[in-house]
Amino acid sequence: MSDELCRIGIIDIGSNSIRLVIYDTTSEGGYRIIKECKYSARLSEKITPENRLEKRDMDTIIPVLRQFKEICRSFGVERIRAGATAAIRNAANSPEIIAYLSEEAAISIEVITGHQEAYFGFLGVINAFNVQDGFVIDIGGGSTEVTLFRGRRHQHSFSFPFGAVNTNLLFSQHGNWSPEQVRKLQAYVTGRLVEHDWLSGAAGLPLYGLGGTLRSLGKLDQKNRDYSLPNSHGYRLSGETIERFMEVLPALSYEKRKEMDGLSKSRADIIVSGLIIFHTVYHYIGAGQAYISGEGLREGMLHDLLQPEQPVKDSALEYSLSTLMHFDIHTPRLHLERIHKLALSLFSAFPPEGDRKEQEMLIYVAVMLHRTGSNINYYQSKRHTRYWLMNAPIRGLSHRQLILSAFISSYSTKSRKQKLSQAHKDILLASDEEWIHKLGTLVQLSMALDSTEIGYIRGLDARLHGNTLHVGLQGAGDVLIGLEDIDNAVKAFKTAWGLKVKLDFPSNA
């Protein structure tokens, strides 16, 4: 274990499942997951008519918590934070159950209040998306938290005492739904939403969804669409998709849902109740669109633990890149910054066309992450870089931007002969193919100009005159190594941009 890292275990005792996630964390608040374990407890189903959780029912939980602690010990975890949410929080004998579990499992367990649960969910989302304003919904087994944020700051939130497990027990017939039962749950949820004025005053904002219900809906939709980038985080659920699910899923029997490709059998009974809650909230707040977040309560608990005074990052993308570079990229930052400077200087010679801000962001991401594949195989690094970027936890990018970054960062002279966007035509725009080649060759040329990584070329002055790009290179001496790389990169660049290129090396200046 590095002196720079701290290994932390987060235990989430939820109403539906209990999870342990072990993170390696940095002093700057970055983290990566190294282990995750899950146990389906369905605590919401163990609550008695008197709203109690009996110790005899908790006796099945204690061995799970003890094993979690043993796993933490095996992994060298230095700190454990364990929190219990709605099922235990709302039980009439909550203090008794918390004391019993803490003592028997030898783990200090805290009750996560409804406000805390909503806040932690918000922290998980806001540090995983570059978004200013929106709503967060976290549908658990025994509660649902809804949060409004503005300017990346928490504004309002409330924890509602209904979730996918307890509403399934109250309103369905063993996981089977009639139209009347669906309407009753919708009316019940709406009846609680109307108590909070702030929920109806921000129509058009995006809704970010947490929890197993949303992840399951995303997987089902991706299967149905044969989606070419099956990442859960950042996946968009359209209004049409949500309505289609509302037509199809409640009409299917529980047994039929268990057979659905992409839906786990353990969630087949509660997927409909979770969907009804989500659908009702989505329409009530007038959401503009919905996205799935892969980070939520547990990551929020971690953010709050690591940096309680300032847990919200200004930029999810910068935070994500900084964390990835700490853990996965063994390239001098000075070299990457030199390439980025060269790339922007080249790009500045061209008049704006399309979304300039997005294009500059793609250049930045591609430069910062272009060496990731060399961790696997130096000589096949570009192929591995492309795969790595499309599957890495890069936050703050849309799925389309993630694919573009992967293609641009892994671009090679052979790429100019390929139709790169074809495999992801369901996600990319028709114009993206041209920009992959343009930005890919621009980044490739910038990398070639500092291929030695020692900075013989410190900068450049690029000016476009008619159909010729004049590039004056600035440096301290003759460039002797990497000339063939520069020559190949210039050829690809000329083809992609449809230009003549004249390079003036420092020794000839």
pLDDT digits (tens, 9 = 90+) for 261-291: 889 998 999 999 999 999 999 999 999 999 9
Q: Band the pLDDT of 377: cuts 50, 70, 90.
A: confident
Q: Which of 18-32, 213-227, 367-381 bottoms out in mean pLDDT, i.e. has the lowest?
A: 367-381
Determine the average pLDDT of the residues in 290-299: 97
- What is the rounded distance in angstroms from the CA atom of residue 416 to the CA atom of residue 493? 9
What percent of the chain shows pLDDT beyond 90? 84
Question: In this model, does residue 389 exceed pLDDT 50?
Answer: yes
Determine the average pLDDT of the residues in 409-416: 86
- 423-427 LR contacts (CB < 8 Å, sep 24+): 423/228, 424/228, 424/229, 425/228, 426/225, 426/226, 426/227, 426/228, 427/227, 427/228, 427/229, 427/399, 427/400, 427/403
Q: What CATH number does the domain located at 6-112 have?
A: 3.30.420.40
Q: In the prediction, which pLDDT does 169 show?
A: 94
Q: Which residues contact 443 (CB under 8 A, 6 or more apart)?
A: 339, 343, 363, 366, 367, 370, 408, 409, 411
Report strand pairing: 134-139 vs 109-111: unpaired
Q: In the prediction, which pLDDT does 83 show?
A: 97
Q: In the prediction, which pLDDT does 481 show?
A: 82
Do 6-112 and 115-296 agree at the fold level? yes
- What is the rounded distance in angstroms from the CA atom of residue 509 to the CA atom of residue 476? 11
Q: Band the pLDDT of 509: cuts 50, 70, 90.
A: very low
pLDDT digit string, tens, across residues 240-269: 999 999 999 999 999 999 999 889 998 999
- 87-90 LR contacts (CB < 8 Å, sep 24+): 87/14, 87/15, 87/43, 87/44, 87/46, 87/47, 87/53, 87/141, 87/142, 88/13, 88/43, 88/53, 89/113, 89/114, 89/143, 90/51, 90/142, 90/143, 90/161
Nearest in space to 398 (alpha carbons), one of 370, 362, 434, 425 = 362
Q: Which of 307-321, 461-475, 478-492 bottoms out in mean pLDDT, i.e. has the lowest?
A: 478-492
Question: In this model, does residue 475 exceed pLDDT 90?
Answer: no
Nearest in space to 121 (alpha carbons), one of 154, 92, 166, 151 = 154
pLDDT digit string, tens, across residues 219-245: 999 999 999 998 999 999 999 999 999
pLDDT digit string, tens, across residues 168-214: 999 999 999 999 999 999 999 999 999 999 999 999 999 999 999 99
The torsion angles phi and psi of 21, rounded to 5 degrees, stand at -125, 130
Determine the average pLDDT of the residues in 372-400: 90
Domain definitions of the chain by residue range: 6-112, 115-296, 316-508
pLDDT digit string, tens, across residues 73-82: 999 999 999 9
Q: Band the pLDDT of 2: cuts 50, 70, 90.
A: low
Q: Which residue has the higher pLDDT, 68 or 509?
A: 68
Q: Which residue has the higher pLDDT, 127 or 379?
A: 127
Contact 381, 373 (CB under 8 A): yes
Q: Which residues contact 217 (CB under 8 A, 6 or more apart)?
A: 237, 241, 242, 245, 271, 275, 278, 292
- What is the rounded distance in angstroms from the CA atom of residue 253 to the CA atom of residue 470? 68
What percent of the chain shows pLDDT beyond 70? 99
In this structure, which CATH number among 1.10.3450.40, 1.10.10.10, 1.10.150.240, 1.10.3210.10 belongs to the domain 316-508?
Answer: 1.10.3210.10
**Strand runs labelled E in 403-467:** 457-465
For the chain, counts of helices (H) and of strands (E): 19, 14
| Cβ-based neighbour number of residue 61 at 10 Å | 22
Q: Provide the mean pLDDT of the chain.
A: 94
Determine the average pLDDT of the residues in 71-100: 96
Question: In this model, does residue 415 exceed pLDDT 90?
Answer: no
Nearest in space to 393 (alpha carbons), one of 106, 32, 37, 58 = 32
Question: In this model, does residue 414 exceed pLDDT 90?
Answer: no
Using CB atoms within 10 A of its CB, is residue 121 exposed (0-12), middle (13-18) or buried (19+)?
buried
Question: In this model, does residue 114 exceed pLDDT 80?
Answer: yes
Nearest in space to 370 (alpha carbons), one of 398, 399, 397, 343 = 343
Q: In the prediction, which pLDDT does 451 show?
A: 87
- Domain covering 115-296, topology: Nucleotidyltransferase; domain 5 (3.30.420)
The dihedral region occupied by 211, where left means phi > 0, alpha psi between -120 and 50, and beta the remainder, is left
pLDDT digit string, tens, across residues 425-442: 999 999 999 999 999 999
Q: In the prediction, which pLDDT does 62 show?
A: 96
Question: In this model, does residue 508 exceed pLDDT 60?
Answer: no
